[in-house]
């Protein structure tokens, strides 16, 4: 390694103490990815434990489990974990317990999928009613909105009880809390709609309630969009206001990303272009909060990660697809030769095909084997859909609809 890359190793490998006191061993985090490997009834599996063990062995500071549901009624997929009152604590503790011996952290990303709850196993709801592009959902009543902080807090308490060292509240990518922030989807006339302060209110109430539940020394993160990338959606100016509020309400790590999984909309994980995405926005966010900032999206090289950290734009670099391509990436970038992951090139892909491809690849990591035939975006979608259909039947058998 030359001296330039030694500086990079030092910067990437520097520990970070969050304001709650939790220390991250370096600056590289595996961003939330829905692994879709729970058992179809919301419970943790051995395949998941193997996946998170493999990732932690790769040296990352923090590994966020995507789409962990606070209740069973509004999941993103039937392979999600559910941290509700019916959780098999021993099974999920098996995953949580993996972190401490490695010096790394695992946090569940607590969420409610809102309008994007998986229709075969849900009756979706959103801040306002919707009937577009095949998405149909009802408007949440005030009582339903007011119930959310306690639901998130109970789930966070369970996360703490089973041994996770923090939680990330999911307010990005078009799921429920992201929809509250977005003027395109939130047309409420009550105290939860209107100005960005009002659209952020439920998120802030949730953060406050979670903090009361878990105490001052427990890590709370929040993932938020810099922009929805949709006409009329959350703008960068409004997102900065929300970020300032999150910081003021004691969020320890604000994870910035963007785009949504709403049908027909651009999502960050389906985007082929090089990033980092939203880096200029992160620099502006730096000016509105003292909370630690993480940027997730489009970081493809060690030089990208170094530049973001060295320039002070962010404190932590989040990577999703790169950790699927190389689970050892953190060790490689901090202690190894510094090689960058090799990204697949797809001649074409149907919507969602790239994300499905990565989902099936992470299944292979969990199962410790490579697929007999390399996945294509099309074959990955077909397999993912088939698996979801089997799990949906199991889910409905266990929970019925919208419990």
Ligand X SMILES: Cc1cc2nc3c(=O)[nH]c(=O)nc-3n(C[C@H](O)[C@H](O)[C@H](O)COP(=O)(O)O)c2cc1C
Q: Which residues bind ligand X (CB under 6 A)?
A: 31-34, 66-67, 109, 170, 172-173, 223, 257, 268-269, 296-299, 319-322, 355, 358-359
Q: Are 206 and 152 in contact (CB under 8 A)?
A: yes
Q: Give me the least distance between CB of 88 and ligand X, in Å please.
A: 21
Q: Give me the least distance between CB of 115 and ligand X, in Å please.
A: 15
How far is the C-alpha of 316 from the C-alpha of 241, rounded, in Å?
21
The first and second tokens of residue 339, run together, are: 């090689």
For residue 167, list its beta bridge partners: 220
Q: Give me the least distance between CB of 3 and ligand X, in Å please.
A: 28
How far is the C-alpha of 335 from the C-alpha of 345, rounded, in Å?
28
Closest CA relative to residue 252, chosen from 28, 21, 61: 21
Q: Give me the least distance between CB of 267 and ligand X, in Å please.
A: 7
Nearer to ligand X, 193 or 258 (CB): 258
The crossing angle, in degrees rounded to 10, of helices 3-13 and 302-310 is: 70
Collapsed DSSP state (helix, strand, coil) of residue 23: strand
Q: Give me the least distance between CB of 194 and ligand X, in Å please.
A: 26
Torsion of CA 48, 210, 154, 221, to 10 degrees: -10
Report CA-CA distances (Å) from 312 to 142, 319, 351.
41, 18, 35
Nearer to ligand X, 227 or 359 (CB): 359
Q: Give me the least distance between CB of 7 and ligand X, in Å please.
A: 23
Q: Give me the least distance between CB of 216 and ligand X, in Å please.
A: 25
Q: How many helices (H) and strands (E) are present in the chain, helices listed first?
A: 14, 13
Nearer to ligand X, 151 or 320 (CB): 320
Q: Give me the least distance between CB of 313 and ligand X, in Å please.
A: 16
The widest CA-to-CA distance across the chain, in whole angstroms, is: 60
Nearer to ligand X, 321 or 387 (CB): 321
Q: Are 284 and 241 in contact (CB under 8 A)?
A: no
Q: Give me the least distance between CB of 142 and ligand X, in Å please.
A: 27
Q: Give me the least distance between CB of 298 and ligand X, in Å please.
A: 5
Q: Give me the least distance between CB of 277 and ligand X, in Å please.
A: 7
Nearer to ligand X, 188 or 257 (CB): 257
How far is the C-alpha of 168 from the C-alpha of 349, rounded, in Å?
30
Nearer to ligand X, 76 or 238 (CB): 76
Nearest position to ligand X, beta carbon? 66
Torsion of CA 353, 167, 402, 37, to 10 degrees: 40
The first and second tokens of residue 4, run together, are: 């330039």
Nearer to ligand X, 186 or 268 (CB): 268
Q: Give residues with Cβ within 8 angstroms of 141, minimum separation 6.
A: none
Closest CA relative to residue 144, chosen from 121, 122, 128, 167: 128
How far is the C-alpha of 137 from the C-alpha of 160, rounded, in Å?
32
The first and second tokens of residue 352, run together, are: 């969602």
- Other C-beta atoms closer than 10 Å to the C-beta of 58 total 20
- The residue behind tokens 């910081």 is 247
> Is the C-alpha dihedral spanning 51, 67, 124, 144 positive or negative?
positive
Nearer to ligand X, 170 or 249 (CB): 170
């Amino acid at each position: 390694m030359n001296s330039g890359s030694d500086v990079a190793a030092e910067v990437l490998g520097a520990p970070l103490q969050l304001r709650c006191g939790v220390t991250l061993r370096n600056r590289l985090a595996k961003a939330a990815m829905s692994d879709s490997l729970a058992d179809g009834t919301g419970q943790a599996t051995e395949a998941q434990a193997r996946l998170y063990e493999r990732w932690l062995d790769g040296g990352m500071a923090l590994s966020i489990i995507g789409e962990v549901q606070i209740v069973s009624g509004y999941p993103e997929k039937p392979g999600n974990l559910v941290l509700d009152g019916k959780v098999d604590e021993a099974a999920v503790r098996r995953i949580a317990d993996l972190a401490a011996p490695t010096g790394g952290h695992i946090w569940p990303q607590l969420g409610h999928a809102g309008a994007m709850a998986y229709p075969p196993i849900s009756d979706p709801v959103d801040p306002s009613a919707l009937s577009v592009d095949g998405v149909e959902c009802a408007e949440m009543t005030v009582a339903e909105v007011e119930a959310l902080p306690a639901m998130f807090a109970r789930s966070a308490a369970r996360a703490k009880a089973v041994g996770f060292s923090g939680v990330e509240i999911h307010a990005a990518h078009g799921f429920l809390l992201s929809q509250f922030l977005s003027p395109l989807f939130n047309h409420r006339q009550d105290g939860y709609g209107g100005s960005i302060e009002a659209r952020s209110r439920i998120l802030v109430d949730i953060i406050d309630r979670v903090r009361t539940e878990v105490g001052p020394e427990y890590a709370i993160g929040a993932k938020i969009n810099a922009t929805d990338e949709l006409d009329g959606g959350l703008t960068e100016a409004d997102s900065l206001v929300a970020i300032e509020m999150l910081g003021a309400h004691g969020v320890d790590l604000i994870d910035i990303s963007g785009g949504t999984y709403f049908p027909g909309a651009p999502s960050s994980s389906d985007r082929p272009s090089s990033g980092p995405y939203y880096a200029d926005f992160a620099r502006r966010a730096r000016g509105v909060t003292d909370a630690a900032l993480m940027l997730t999206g489009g970081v493809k090289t060690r030089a990208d990660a170094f530049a973001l950290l060295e320039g002070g734009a962010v404190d932590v670099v989040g990577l999703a697809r790169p950790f699927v391509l190389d689970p050892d990436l953190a060790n490689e970038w901090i202690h190894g030769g510094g090689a960058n992951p090799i990204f697949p090139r797809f001649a074409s892909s149907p919507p969602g095909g790239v994300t499905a491809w990565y989902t099936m690849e992470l299944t292979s990591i969990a199962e410790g084997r490579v697929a007999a035939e390399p996945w294509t975006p099309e074959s990955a979608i077909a397999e993912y859909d088939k698996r979801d259909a089997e799990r949906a039947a199991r889910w409905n058998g266990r929970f019925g609809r919208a419990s």
